Amino acid sequence: MYETIHMLHSYLAYIALAVLILAVINAISGLVGKRIFNMGKDLRLSLFALILCHIQLLIGLILYFVSPSGMSAIQEFGMGGLTSAARLLAVEHPFINILAIVAITIGWSRHKKFVDGAKKFKSIAIFYSIGLLLILSRIPWGQWFN
């Protein structure tokens, strides 16, 4: 079970990250280009990024509780006994990525309150970018390319 969830979490990360990057680029280009917020393309791209990030979070939370490098590492070694690599996987990666998903969700919720396309694009651009930067800061890069 652990291997399947780990593989799903790893491969879905590439897809979620790519769609999130596309959503940020789309929002920034819409803001700079003063486009009208299209309820088809713009809405769906932002929504798809939100949904994929939430699915990735749920799979990650399941993985956190079944993985030997998640909750069980903290229970076994305690917070003070974790190496920097173990701390990244057991504490920093989950915590920062939860904050990233919160930022993305705030951006989605805020954009729904606006009628003006520029404000919609601005809300998505700012909060999705914050989420993207947080996610990129805590990806275990050493494991990604192995």
**Minimal CA–CA distance to 129: which of 35, 10, 27?**
27
Task: Flag the least confident range among 18-22, 32-36, 110-114, 139-143.
Answer: 139-143
First to last CA, the chain: 21
How confident is residue 146, by pLDDT bands cut at 50, 70 and 90?
Answer: low
The mean per-residue pLDDT over the stretch 51-67 comes to: 92
Q: What share of the chain is helix, strand, coil (3-state, %, to 5)?
A: 80, 0, 20
Kindly state the DSSP code that residue 91 receives in the 8-state scheme.
I
Going by C-alpha positions, the residue among 101, 77, 103, 105 that lies closest to residue 91 is: 77
Contact 53, 134 (CB under 8 A): no
Residue with tokens 């491969």: 11
Encode pLDDT of 41-57 as tens digits: 889 999 999 999 999 99
Sole residue written with tokens 């932002």: 46
Contact residues for 35 (Cβ-Cβ < 8 A; gap 6+): 29, 42, 117, 121
What residue segments make up the domains of the chain, in order of their start?
1-143
